Amino acid sequence: MTVLLLEDEYPAAERLQRLLLEATPEAQVLAVLDSVAGALHWLASHPAPNLILSDIQLADGLSLEVFEQAVVRSPVIFTTAYDAYAIRAFKANSIDYLLKPVKLVELQAALTKLREWRSPAAQHSPEATDDTARRLERLLDSLPRPDRQYKTRFLVRSGEQLLPLAVNQIAWFQSRHETTTLVATDGRRYVVEYTLEQLEGLLDPRQFFRLNRQFIAQLPAVQRLHPHFNGKLLLDLHPAPGEEVLVSREKASAVKQWLEG
């Protein structure tokens, strides 16, 4: 089985490839692409893979744009930290929709659905045309409602105590060496048991933005933007993290739009 992987976060791409080989050792990953533009170019110049395994948020936009701009005949399994894109995802040849962090058993179940979907018996049965609608209905029944509430506080450890910390007291999160640190507006630091991928789905995207592979920042923490080499942005955060915070050229316009509201 040939697979095209669309994922803009290197650790997530590595993990998905590892899980994929555990779930189906015969899988061959043809390419790992991190942008809508790269995916469109690749699909225009290569035969269709047997499967596309795609995150929804890529470096330069939503992967759903790929399926809206190109004729894609491959089935798709979407992975994302967000559940808000379910309907659009299922309109794009979707076999399944997995929320991050993806678990091996869930990926195995999705690949089983793919095999059933591709079987001649399934494709010619009277029920086949309604299969996507039924799966979408079940998915939407299990998802939070559109008026979902984002996380408003975190319980953090300070010495031997656990303290509730409101999200408006958070400046930014950093992932380093597989550890996620929450930095408060007063500079205090706490280790939290979440990955950045999980936090993306828990935090209000109007207030928090994934700047790069290491940082998620809240709006007031971004003090200044500086043009950097090759179209990148250098951000000043407060409190200062003690290292450069760079935004890629592909994400630079999205960061500016977020800051403008």
Six token digits for residue 23:
């779930």
**pLDDT of the residue at 124:** 41
Is the CATH number of domain 153-260 1.20.950.20? no
Asked if residue 202 lies in contact with residue 167, where contact means CB atoms within 8 angstroms, the answer is no
Quick one: how far is CA 7 from the chain centroid? Answer: 8
State how far the Cα of 245 lies from the Cα of 190, in Å rounded to an integer. 19
pLDDT of residue 154: 92
Q: What is the pLDDT of residue 211?
A: 94
Is 233 exposed, middle or buried (CB count within 10 Å of its CB: 0-12, 13-18, 19+)?
A: buried
pLDDT tens, N- to C-terminus, the chain (261 residues): 899 999 988 888 899 999 999 998 999 999 999 999 999 999 999 999 999 999 888 888 888 888 878 888 888 888 876 555 565 666 566 667 676 777 888 888 888 877 776 665 544 444 443 454 454 445 444 444 445 578 899 989 888 888 899 999 999 999 998 899 999 999 999 999 889 888 887 888 889 999 998 999 999 999 999 999 888 999 999 999 989 999 998 888 888 888 887
Architecture category of domain 2-142 in CATH: 3-Layer(aba) Sandwich (3.40)
Q: What are the start-end ranges of the E strands in the chain?
A: 2-6, 28-33, 51-55, 57-58, 61-62, 76-80, 94-99, 153-158, 161-166, 170-176, 179-184, 189-192, 208-210, 215-218, 222-227, 233-237, 245-247
Collapsed DSSP state (helix, strand, coil) of residue 226: strand
Domain ranges of the chain: 2-142, 153-260
**What SS3 state is found at 108?**
helix
Q: What pLDDT is recorded for position 57?
A: 82
The pTM assigned to this predicted structure is: 0.50
